[in-house]
Each structure stands twice: as structure tokens, then as C-alpha cells.
């Protein structure tokens, strides 16, 4: 029979896990940055190579016209050699031969540059994939660190029995897997799709370029730039969803305002109303960090559920501070569901309920199919010693 893990041993394991994950995050960041630097360098070289190719094409076209004129001149001299001197015939021949040699050299240089351009484009695609994989791994590790730092530290203050810690650790692992699936889906539907489109458009550029449609190729390059900008916006949005830095710097209300504004900008067909009442804001005393983190995550999860699963178009969020309590109400006009029916993999609502219970609050969901959903949360606001705080 195996020996139970005591609290000291478990804390040591958690500390080791954090160190390993942090080291892995640093290594992935280094790989990502090196790939980005090489990408930028190759991108500059690719632009220069394309300019040289265009230059050689232009010079080659001009030289071909001269060669054709020189051939006609040589043909004229050859047909009517009795009218021209031997010197005229020799000069016509030598001039035509020199131009043909110059044209061959120019075409060879153009061929080499085209080959280098194709190599650079393939290398850039490979680097894009490397950066994407590094970004995906970095996001997953950030999720792991978030749970290790935030949730495990809160759990250590509540749980005293090692067995309970093990059971809760299993729930955290489940949460990590759920978060990984969510992030993977977001990246697949967002930046990954855009990168695939960029690859497709780069092939269109190559075909257009080979056909001599320079204007079409330039237009496709403009389209690619817009796609890259959109992809960058998506990546930054996903990073912001993981952990907004404004929560530490500005506090809960400004961070929620910014988060909801970003959601509105991304989902322009959804109307989100946010009403803070009696909020700790604008120079007033901040909430304790564990309350700010918990309230932000609760409202974030409620909004994501309303948008992704309920298909809501109108969402109302009320955050109210009354005496010793903090009240949160989130109402949407989505498709609703039957709360009595437990769905497989519905960890979002479970994690919300557990967060509220950790703060000794109440969590109530009212929903009917086709009638929308309302979430009511009531949390007693206590100081670090467990005493209620008066307003």
C-alpha cells in the first residue's frame, strides 16, 4: 500500500512543477524570438530579391527588343551584302552576338534569383509554422502557470488535508485540459486559418508573377499584409484573455471595461451592457487581489459562455458592491438550456461554481431552452483575517 503524500511533500512537488514550467516557458520564448528574428531578416531579403527579379525582367525585356532589332539589321545586311562593306557586316554580326550573350547572362541571373526567392518563401512558411507552434505551447504553459500560481496558492490556505489536495489537483488537471482545448480551438479558427490563407495567397503571388501580372501580385501582397495584421490582433486577443496585465495595474472595473470593449470590437453583432454600482474605482481603495481575480474570471467565463455556447446577441452585466457583499448578475438572450441536465465536458459552469464556493458565496443559474440564461452570484467580502468589511 502506497504512503499518503503529506502537505510538505506536495508543496515541494508544486514548487518543482512551477520551476520546470517556468524554465520551459523561457526556452520556448527564446526559440520563438530567434525564429521571429530570422523571419524578419528573411522577409527583408525576400523583398530585395523580388526587387532584383523585377529589375532583371525589365532589363531583359529591353535587351530582347534590342536583340530583335539587331537580328533584323543582321538579316538585312546578309541579304544585301553587296550594298555593305565587310566591316559593316562584321560589326552587325558582332553586335548581335554580344547582345545575345548579354541576354543569356541576364536570364541566368534572373533564374538564380527566382530560385532564391522560392527558397526564401518556403523558409518563411516553415518559420511561420515554428512561430505558431511556439506561440501555442507558450499559451498552454501560461495557462498551467496561471493555475499553479493562482489556484494552488488559494487552495493551500483552504485545504489542510493532503488527500483533499490530491483530489483538487486532479480537478486542476481537468481544467488545464479544458483550457488547452479552448485555446487550441481559438488558434485553429483564428491565426491558424489566417496563416493558411496567407500561404494560399503567396502561391497566387508566385503564379501571377510567373505570368507577368505584376499588378495582380502587388495586390495579393497587400491582401497578405492585412491578413498578417488580423492574425496579430487575434494572437494578442488570446494572450489578453489568458491574463490581462491591467488587472494588476488598474484594478477590476477598468480591466472589465477594457475586456468588454475588446469583445464588442471583435463581435460587432453583439451588444454588451456593463453596469458597475458602488464600484471600487477612480482612486478608491482596491479590492483584495483574490477577489479581483475571481470576479474577473467569473464574468469572463459567463460572457464567453453566452457568446460561444448560447449564441447571445444582447448581454447585460451588473457588478454591485453593497455593504459586506459583492453581487454579480449576467443576463443573456441566448438559446438557453436545461440546468437539470448535466452535460459532458461542461467544466466552465463547474469551475465558476467552485470559485464562488471557495469565497463562501452563492451561485444560482436560471435558464430555459429558447428563453436565455441569467447567472446570479453573491459573494461576502471579507478581509484577509476572514472578517466582514463594512462599506
Coil/strand/helix, residue 332: strand
| pLDDT tens by residue, 21-51 | 777 777 777 777 887 888 888 888 888 888 8
DSSP per-residue letters across 101-163: HHHHHHHHHHHHHHHHHHHHHHHHHHHHHHHHHHHHHHHHHHHHHHIIIIIHHHHHHH---HH
Answer yes or no: is 385 within a domain. no
- Residue 244 CA to residue 298 CA, distance in Å, equals 14
* Inside any domain, residue 123: yes
- Do 6 and 162 touch, CB atoms closer than 8 A? yes
Contact 257, 299 (CB under 8 A): no
Q: Which three cell numbers stand for residue 288?
A: 483584495
Whether residues 351 and 212 share a domain: the answer is no
Q: Is residue 391 part of a domain?
A: no
Please give the grid coordinates belonging to residue 355. 470559485
* Same structural domain, 283 and 357: yes
CATH of the domain at 259: 3.30.565.10
3-state SS, residue 358: helix
How confident is the model at residue 314, as a pLDDT? 92
Question: Using 50, 70 and 90 to split pLDDT, how confident is the model at 330?
Answer: very high
Please indicate, yes or no, whether residues 42 and 93 belong to a single structural domain of this protein: yes
216-220, 256-260, 283-287, 290-294: segment of lowest average pLDDT? 283-287
* pTM of the full structure: 0.43
Residues 92, 74 contacting (CB under 8 angstroms): yes
Give residue 318's pLDDT.
93
Residue 86: which pLDDT band, with cuts at 50, 70 and 90?
Answer: confident
Quick one: 263 and 169 in the same domain? no
Residue 390 lies in a domain: no
241, 261, 292 — which closes off a domain?
241
- The rounded distance, in Å, linking the Cα atoms of 232 and 191 is 8
SS3 label, residue 387: coil
Number of structural domains, the chain? 2
The residues pairing with 310 across neighbouring beta strands, listed in sequence order, are none
The tens digit of pLDDT for each residue in 152-211 reads 655 555 544 445 455 555 666 666 666 667 666 666 666 767 777 777 777 777 777 777
Domain that holds residue 335: 244-380
Q: Are 17 and 148 in contact (CB under 8 A)?
A: yes
What DSSP string describes 199-259? HHHHHHHHHHHHTT-HHHHHHHHHHHHHHHHHHHHHHHHHHHHH--THHHHT-HHHHHHHH
- The answer on 326 and 184 residing in a single domain is no
CB 335 within 8 A of CB 295: no
For residue 155, the cross-strand partners are none
Round to whole Å and give the CA distance between 361 and 353.
9
Instruction: Output the nine-digit C-alpha cell for 194.
Output: 489566417
252 neighbors 293 (Cβ within 8 angstroms): no
Q: What is the pLDDT of residue 54?
A: 86
Tell whether 67 is covered by a domain: yes
Dihedral pair phi/psi, residue 379, rounded to 5°: -125, 125
168 and 21 in one domain?
Answer: yes
Report the candidate in 108, 124, 127 with the shortest Cα–Cα distance to residue 206: 124
Q: Is residue 173 part of a domain?
A: yes
Reported as type and span, the H/E element at residue 171 is helix 162-187
Angle among Cα 270, 271, 275 to the nearest 5 degrees reads 145
Across all residues in the chain, what is the average pLDDT? 76
Greatest mean pLDDT among 36-40, 147-151, 165-169, 310-314 lies in: 310-314
Rounded CA gap, 207 and 359, in Å?
Answer: 61
**Whole-angstrom Cα distance, residue 29 to residue 71?**
61
Nearest-angstrom CA–CA distance, 9 and 2:
14
Q: In this structure, is residue 168 part of a structural domain?
A: yes
- The CA distance from 292 to 254, in Å, is 11
Strands ordered across the beta sheet of 325-332: 271-277, 314-322, 325-332, 373-380, 362-367
Tell me, yes or no, whether 341 and 374 share the same domain.
yes
Are 142 and 154 contained in the same domain?
yes
Q: Look up cell 463581435; give the residue.
A: 267
- Residues 301 and 204 occupy one common structural domain: no
Percent of the chain clearing pLDDT 70 (strictly above): 74
Instruction: State which of 241, 267, 299 marks the end of a domain.
Output: 241
Q: Does residue 260 share a domain with residue 316?
A: yes
Do the Cβ atoms of 372 and 312 come closer than 8 Å? yes
Q: Which domain-ending residue is among 225, 241, 257? A: 241
In a domain, 1, yes or no: no
Residue 94 and residue 218 in one domain: yes
- Whether 353 and 209 share a structural domain: no
Grid cell, residue 243, equals: 491574463
Amino acid at each position: 500500500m502506497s504512503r499518503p503524500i503529506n502537505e510538505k511533500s506536495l508543496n515541494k512537488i508544486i514548487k518543482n512543477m512551477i520551476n520546470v514550467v517556468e524554465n520551459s516557458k523561457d526556452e520556448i520564448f527564446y526559440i520563438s524570438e530567434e525564429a521571429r528574428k530570422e523571419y524578419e531578416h528573411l522577409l527583408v531579403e525576400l523583398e530585395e530579391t523580388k526587387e532584383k527579379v523585377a529589375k532583371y525582367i525589365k532589363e531583359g525585356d529591353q535587351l530582347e527588343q534590342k536583340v530583335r532589332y539587331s537580328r533584323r539589321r543582321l538579316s538585312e545586311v546578309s541579304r544585301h551584302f553587296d550594298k555593305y562593306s565587310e566591316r559593316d557586316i562584321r560589326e552587325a554580326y558582332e553586335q548581335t552576338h554580344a547582345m545575345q550573350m548579354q541576354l543569356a547572362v541576364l536570364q541566368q541571373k534572373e533564374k538564380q534569383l527566382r530560385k532564391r526567392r522560392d527558397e526564401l518563401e518556403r523558409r518563411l512558411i516553415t518559420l511561420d509554422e515554428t512561430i505558431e507552434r511556439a506561440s501555442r505551447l507558450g499559451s498552454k504553459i501560461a495557462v498551467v502557470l496561471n493555475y499553479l500560481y493562482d489556484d494552488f496558492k488559494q487552495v493551500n490556505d483552504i485545504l489542510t488535508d493532503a488527500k483533499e489536495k490530491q483530489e483538487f489537483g486532479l480537478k486542476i488537471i481537468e481544467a488545464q485540459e479544458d483550457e488547452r482545448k479552448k485555446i487550441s480551438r481559438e488558434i485553429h479558427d483564428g491565426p491558424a486559418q489566417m496563416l493558411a490563407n496567407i500561404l494560399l495567397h503567396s502561391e497566387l503571388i508566385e503564379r501571377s508573377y510567373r505570368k507577368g501580372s505584376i499588378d495582380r501580385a502587388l495586390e495579393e501582397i497587400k491582401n497578405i499584409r492585412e491578413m498578417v495584421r488580423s492574425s496579430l490582433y487575434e494572437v494578442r486577443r488570446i494572450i489578453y484573455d489568458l491574463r490581462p496585465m491591467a488587472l494588476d495595474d488598474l484594478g477590476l472595473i477598468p480591466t472589465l471595461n477594457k475586456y468588454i470593449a475588446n469583445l464588442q470590437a471583435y463581435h460587432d453583432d453583439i451588444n454588451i451592457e456593463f453596469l458597475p454600482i458602488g464600484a471600487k474605482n477612480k482612486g478608491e481603495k482596491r479590492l483584495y487581489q483574490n477577489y479581483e481575480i475571481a470576479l474577473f474570471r467569473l464574468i469572463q467565463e459567463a460572457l464567453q459562455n453566452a457568446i460561444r455556447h448560447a449564441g447571445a446577441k444582447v448581454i447585460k452585466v451588473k457588478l454591485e458592491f453593497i455593504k459586506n457583499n459583492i453581487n454579480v448578475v449576467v443576463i443573456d438572450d441566448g438559446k438557453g438550456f436545461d440546468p437539470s441536465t448535466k452535460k459532458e465536458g461542461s467544466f466552465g459552469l463547474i469551475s465558476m461554481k467552485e470559485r464562488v464556493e471557495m469565497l463562501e458565496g452563492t451561485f444560482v443559474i436560471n435558464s430555459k431552452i429558447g428563453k436565455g440564461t441569467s447567472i446570479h452570484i453573491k459573494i461576502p467580502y471579507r478581509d484577509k483575517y476572514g472578517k466582514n468589511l463594512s462599506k
